[in-house]
Amino acid sequence: MAVTESSPPANTTHEATAPPAAAGVFGTREWLVLITLCCATFMCGLDFSIVTVALPDIGNALGFSSAGTLQWVATASLLPSASLLPLFARVADLIGRKRLFTLGVSVFTLFSLGAALANSPGVLIATRIGQGTAAAMIAPSAIALMTGYFQEGPKRARALGLNGAVMSLGFVLGALGGGVITNGFSWRWTMVALCVMGALALAGALALPTIDESRAAHRMDIPGAILATLGLFGLVYGISTGGDQGWTRPAALGPILGGLVLLGAFLLVERSHPEPLVPLSVLNRPTVKWSGLFGVITFGMCAGTTVLLSLYMQDVLGFTALQAGLSYLGEGLAATLGGMYVARLLGRLGGVKVLAAGLLIQGVGTAGMFALPVHVNLAALLVTSSVMGLGHVFSVVSFITVMTTGVTEQDQGVVGGLSQLPQYVAAIGVSGLSAIAAARTNALASGATPSRADILGGLHAGMVTAGVVALAGALLVGVVLRKRTAA
């Protein structure tokens, strides 16, 4: 592999020779790295939720023709983020993670500025595509940089823990900030906020210390890149639209089936390519494929339940968007605290046990939402959502830790991309739980218009389903991962 930077090898830096007492303590340079990478993570988490909250104001201001067209403001960013992840994970190995990270942050910042200045639906959707493409550059390179700068052990566990907490906090504060900004100012300021975050992340990226990156890849797997991109595009598009249109309708079922066929063809191509986009030796690692499944479970059930909670607060309790955003603060605080302490748990118990515990806690908190009443009970709302948020951040940090542990330096870029893919494929959780809730509501409704009790019954069905799936995931962790990672 060629060395692209002139700095000393990673295993000869002060990190490897630090005394045991300081094993989990960051130096000034490491804090710079961590703050920069977490800033980019926070920005990407903020992007999704802050824009979702601002959609009604965007539609009114720019004159979107329908709710379906308006939804493309969110979908236009999601699709390239998901479908281009494997491609850019490989590009990170070809051109260098730091270079790709810096490029991604630069592109995201420029398109955020363009979105703030957009004067028509077409221009805004185009800039959102640009933001999503940039996010696909940032996500795999940020995780690969984190595992490159921080060696396996307490420091990496602590860094991943803080990164997971920041990601959850970005989503929560996006829901709150989107309501505050759109109510007090204009939706355009949501894009300005993203632009400012991007500028800060870019300043940090330019100041990042050099890092050795040995790269074996010399060329791009073009057939694999095309098949993976189109396959993921079709799969995520069909999943994202299926909740509204029904997954049996051609508009959703066709892309899902087509995406699965293309992904199957991708696996066949990867068997014979000399430099595959995603080496099957990596994809077949139990810690990679099973951790990816548990990532889909924790992201899908948490994201889907968060949507149901929003419906509960606004359609059942009558909360405003701002009140609903404030109600997420308990979940955000629990996730932040969990991210601060998860490194200690990983050091004592190991990634597999923490992953099982995280899914168990998330499942208990989510299933407990069955007790949410038709009238306001802040204690029940805050407790259940906080328990779910705590379990979720444990699950996210531990599944990424398990997935990236033991991976060679040359495959960190690929695995970094795979570790970020579950949060996009997990759109199936949002669509699936929403469909369950809607079906149960319709079954309970005795008239043309469902009552608040009918809506609550449907939401309870979706929440309990999410809890059961998370609990089943906790049981499955012990079955499929514990023996395989005993060594």
Distance separating alpha carbons of residues 192 and 93, to the nearest angstrom = 32
Per-residue pLDDT, 82: 82
Per-residue pLDDT, 360: 95
290 token code pair: 């099973």
Please tell me whether residue 215 adopts helix, strand or coil conformation.
strand
How many Cα neighbours within 13 Å face the side chain of 89? 30
Q: Give whole-number Cα distances, 194 to 20, 199, 276, 478, in Å.
A: 39, 9, 35, 40
CA nearest neighbour of 85 among 135, 148, 49: 135
CA nearest neighbour of 59 among 46, 69, 48: 69
Distance separating alpha carbons of residues 41 and 396, to the nearest angstrom = 13
Residue owning tokens 């308006």:
70
278 token code pair: 């995603």
Helix (H) or strand (E) holding 373: none
Per-residue pLDDT, 54: 72
421 token code pair: 């893919």
Per-residue pLDDT, 114: 92
375 token code pair: 């009238």
pTM for this entry: 0.79
Virtual torsion, Cα 454, 456, 460, 466, nearest 10 deg = 110
- Beta bridge pairs of residue 3: 214
Per-residue pLDDT, 269: 85
446 token code pair: 């005795």
Distance separating alpha carbons of residues 43 and 105, to the nearest angstrom = 10
Which residues, other chains included, contact 221 with Cβ-Cβ below 8 Å and sequence gap of 6+?
90, 269, 270, 273, 275, 276, 277
Distance separating alpha carbons of residues 408 and 417, to the nearest angstrom = 14
Distance separating alpha carbons of residues 419 and 396, to the nearest angstrom = 10
Cβ–Cβ < 8 Å for 257, 368: no
Q: Which amino acid is at 16?
A: A
Cβ–Cβ < 8 Å for 278, 407: no
Q: Give whole-number Cα distances, 298 to 89, 301, 329, in Å.
A: 22, 5, 19
pLDDT tens for the 487 residues of the chain, in order: 333 433 444 443 343 333 443 455 777 788 888 888 888 888 887 777 777 767 777 877 787 766 667 777 877 888 888 888 888 888 887 788 888 999 999 999 999 999 999 888 889 999 999 999 999 899 888 888 887 788 777 777 778 777 777 776 776 677 666 666 666 677 788 888 889 889 999 998 888 877 766 555 567 778 888 888 898 888 888 877 765 566 667 777 788 888 899 988 988 888 877 777 877 878 888 888 888 889 999 988 988 888 888 888 878 888 876 777 778 778 878 887 887 788 788 878 888 889 999 999 999 999 999 999 988 888 999 999 999 989 998 998 888 888 877 777 677 677 777 887 887 777 777 778 888 888 888 888 877 788 888 899 999 999 999 999 999 999 998 888 765 554 4
Residue owning tokens 């363009």:
114
Per-residue pLDDT, 24: 56
Per-residue pLDDT, 486: 45
- Beta bridge pairs of residue 215: 2
379-418 in b/e form (b: 16+ CB < 10 A) is eebbbbbbbbbbbbbbbbbbbbbbbbbebebbbbbbbbbb
Residue owning tokens 């979940």:
331
